A and B are shown apart, each in its own frame.
Chain A
Amino acid sequence: MANLVIRDLVKTYDKTEVLHSINLEVEDGEFVVFVGPSGCGKSTTLRLVAGLEEVTSGSIEIAGRVVNNLEPKDRDIAMVFQNYAIYPHMTVRKNIGFGLRSSKAPKAEKEKRIESVAELLGMTEYLDRKPNQLSGGQRQRVAIGRAMVRDPAVFLFDEPLSNLDAQLRTQMRLEIKKLHQRVGSTIVFVTHDQVEAMTMADRIVIMKDGHIQQVGSPSEVYHQPANTFVAQFIGAPSMNMIPGRVEADNRIALSTGGELAFQRPLPQGRPVILGIRPEDLHPGEVNSVIEGAVNVREPLGHETLIYVGTSEGDVIAKADGRTPPGIGEVVKLGAALENMHVFDAESGEALA
């Protein structure tokens, strides 16, 4: 196991720069998740770390050793791919042991390692089966097993759960997390699913257009988003964004009508965006300044999501599951001031 350091990493394809000076340090044993929309550069970063793409500039260090010019096999990494990449013509045993082909260890020792990994993953009884005789989850375990058997310094996961159904994804998420706790290896995991990122990561790296937007623990990126992109990307449903302007005495006049007085210092006269998560916004709450008629209701059982029409479009709030407001009913929504996020309207950066 080892740490991973990425310094000023740039990647260009032809003349298009797709990664712009990425800097990141992953501690030994840390579980870091790269998350972002398609085309944000998360998979490219992972492939650069794996050595499957050439670095344009910058450096990648694994365990204190610059690996830019090393072949993938010499980087002491193992990778789990989105479509598992387990070979259909080989048995589970051969697939898991595939990474040991170049190892000079005695055959008996290799066999022992294969069996111990299979046992750890609960795959012992399937060792002599072919992949087409396995379920999706079992195939994913084989792929993980093939990575584990090499005992690499860093594990790289490239959207490994994307091909699984929702139930299996939840199960595998838990299994990977347990596995990490048991073996304590350094893991870099790429996903576009923010729920995966939130539930698995020690730290989340949120990317957009080849830039890192924010690096932080799941709690940090959720409660203190660095900008409007992070605020909207993390959390489902997305954070409500309401334009406004800072008036005297740290008051914000909302474009939907109403004013809110903040205790924190805000730059007077600046156009801002007020961000409130739907789970923090309720009818009849304090600071009820957003008013509108309920357009849509989405009952979730214990609570109901309501879509309230305003001059800036629908605002999503959570109402009680038993007695939600009816369609067309005019409601006033409010939230605690500490749960409101203020962003600069031009740069999108968090102000307070």
Chain B
Amino acid sequence: MAVTEDIKIKPSSEELLKTGPSRAPRNMGQIIRFLLLFAGGILMVMPIAFMISTSLKWPHEVYNLNFIPDEPTIENYTYVLEDGRFYWWFLNSLIIAVITTICSVIFDSLVGYTLCKFRFPGRYIIFIAILSTLMIPTEMLVIPWYLMSQQFGWLDTYWGIMFPGLMTAFGTFLMKQFFETVPDDFIEAARIDGLNELQIWWTVAMPLVRPALAALAIFVFLGNWTAFIWPLIVTNSVEMYTLPVGLSSFGDEADVAWELIMTGAAISTIPTLVVFLIFQRFIIRGVVMAGLKG
């Protein structure tokens, strides 16, 4: 009896071929989830859209909250790009972000690998000590960093801007977690095959955590590209400014040239967009894997 009913309810294969399989109706939960995600998406995109909108406005229109400028102009872009300082700041940011990223990827992965794959007394304590630095906010660290930079003569230098970020606790943690996924057999096989420990790290372990390296590189690059407080404190001369610090100098106590700041910000977003578009699959994989491990 039940079989007969089933046959009646289910469409025949011929019917399915004609109409296609019917989709289950969306339930309220799905609709609410979709709406929430949509609202979240709008919230994320709004500031970027507003940044671009403002960069296309004349100064007198900046404080109007209209989204589409009455008289759109690219004058701000021309002004910023013709200002020689912008290129300096862009170059400074690029040099700092690239060098810091390379150093961070190498040092974080070396320390992460060592903490993960070597057994030595105090290993756990060292790891906890490194992790605990994550709890200290940058605002607390800038004064000791500044005093240190002053003592070593690093004020207003690339080295002074870069040194706090050459190795990161987050990167060390991330890489250690990823190296946990590399089976010890790989390391031991390489040891038997005659590689020294540094060769094993570079030839065997590093290629196996490539997604994590890419994710870390992107995080560090973006972090340094957008860093503001420390570069602002450690630099004095306009030539040593990084892009965010330089852009903020478009304003003073009397007036803030928002249209120029937004123009500079829009231009400075381009490298981060390029980096993201190239490495986005690594970021997503990296974040997913880090999430799984954590």
Contact surface of A with B, Cβ cutoff 8 Å: 50-52, 71-73, 77-79, 81-83, 85, 87-89, 98-99, 101-102, 146, 150
Contact = CB atoms under 8 A, between A and B. Distances in A.
A133 to B, nearest CB: 17
Contacts of B195: 73, 101-102
Contact of A73 (B186, B194, B204): B194
Given A85-B183, A85-B186, A89-B207, A102 B193 contact: yes
B156 to A, nearest CB: 43
Contacts of A52: 188, 191-192
Interface residues of B, number: 15
B208 interface: yes
Interface of B: 183, 185-186, 188-195, 204, 207-208, 210
B192 A78 contact: yes
A101 B189 CA distance: 13
B194 A102 contact: yes
A78 B194 CA distance: 10
22 contacts: A52-B188, A52-B192, A72-B188, A73-B191, A73-B192, A73-B195, A79-B188, A79-B189, A79-B192, A81-B188, A83-B183, A83-B185, A85-B183, A85-B186, A85-B189, A87-B186, A87-B207, A87-B208, A99-B192, A101-B195, A102-B193, A102-B195
A149 to B, nearest CB: 10
A73 B199 CA distance: 14
Given A83-B185, A85-B186, A87-B186, A77 B193 contact: no
B188 A101 contact: no
Contacts of A99: 192-194
The 4 closest A-B pairs by CB, nearest first: A102-B194, A73-B194, A85-B189, A85-B185
Contacts of B192: 50-52, 72-73, 77-79, 99
Nearest to B207: A89
A77 B185 CA distance: 15
Given A79-B189, A81-B188, A88-B208, A101 B194 contact: yes
Contacts of B190: 98
A311 B203 CA distance: 63
Contacts of B185: 81-83, 85
